[in-house]
Amino acid sequence: MAKEKKKTTRQAYGITVLKAADPRVRAQKKKHAPCIHGNKFWNVSWCVMDFLSHQGLRPETRVLDIGCGWGLAGIYCAKNHGANVTAMDADAAVFPYLQLHAEINGVEIETWRCKFEKVKKKDLRQTNLIIGADICFWDEMVEPLYKLIKKAVGAEVGQIIIADPGRPPFHELSEKVVEKLGGEVKEWEINGEVQADAYLLIAGTLP
Ligand SMILES: C[S@@+](CC[C@H](N)C(=O)[O-])C[C@H]1O[C@@H](n2cnc3c(N)ncnc32)[C@H](O)[C@@H]1O
């Protein structure tokens, strides 16, 4: 009997994600090797999508996905809500994986190679929503991310959502943001087409 072929894609929240075994991902792996953990899609991104599916997102909201990796949270915003998305990452090697996913999901995403610490307040003036999934995993990330969020609040970005599995640097960042800039941390669990949980640091609101 012929062996059943294993599926190499996953569908949820209206988007398609390629698994590591997918031949298109394997082809990219021969050419591009992300080096700051942008080598796969990270699970807490689902919680950002789920939160936004409940909260809603107006069409043409300008979204900046920081530390985007393969960019699926931003792709979700573009595909399901008609958002205009810029995906930012320090590591240019993530962008071919992002473009591959943008293509199979039928959306266009602008990419921006930049580090958290290099983002200026003026860069954020046009942004309505900042999202970031699993981006605060080293102690030295706390201060640059706090400063970026502070600039975003100063630039009147409507809302900032940072998702994390609960690592100590994320909790340190959250406490500082909530105390000095305002906001809250929500525990978010999803048990539907996808199972995932995360802490969501949420500052500000969208109109
Ligand atoms: C764990 S991955 C998460 C990727 C994606 N957000 C997801 O949920 O699938 C962390 C990402 O942050 C990026 N990153 C790490 N340090 C950064 C920095 N200082 N500035 C911008 N991006 C950074 C990495 O290149 C990587 O793509």
Residue pLDDT, tens place only, 55-101:
999 999 999 999 999 999 999 999 999 999 999 999 999 999 999 99
- Predicted structure pTM score: 0.96
Specify the pLDDT at position 1. 60
Q: Higher model confidence: residue 148 or residue 39?
A: 148
Estimate the share of the chain in helix, then strand, then coil, as percent rounded to the nearest 5. 40, 25, 35
Residue in 74, 96, 91, 113 with CA at minimum distance from that of residue 36:
91
Specify the pLDDT at position 36. 87
- Catalogue all structural domains in the chain, each as residue range(s) with its CATH number: 9-204 (3.40.50.150)
Q: 116 CA to middle of ligand 1, Å?
A: 10
Residue in 128, 124, 122, 72 with CA at minimum distance from that of residue 102:
72
Residue with tokens 């943001």: 177
Q: Is 91 in the pocket of ligand 1 (CB under 6 A)?
A: yes
Q: Is 84 in the pocket of ligand 1 (CB under 6 A)?
A: no
- Residue 194, pLDDT above cutoff 90: yes
pLDDT (tens digit per residue) in 49-61: 999 999 999 999 9
pLDDT (tens digit per residue) in 172-191: 999 999 999 999 999 999 99
36, 72, 143: residue to mutate for ligand 1 pocket, most atoms within 8 A of CB = 36
Q: 4 CA to middle of ligand 1, Å?
A: 35
Q: Collapse the DSSP code of 59 into the 3-class scheme (helix H, G, I; strand E, B; otherwise coil) and give the result.
A: coil
Q: 67 CA to middle of ligand 1, Å?
A: 3
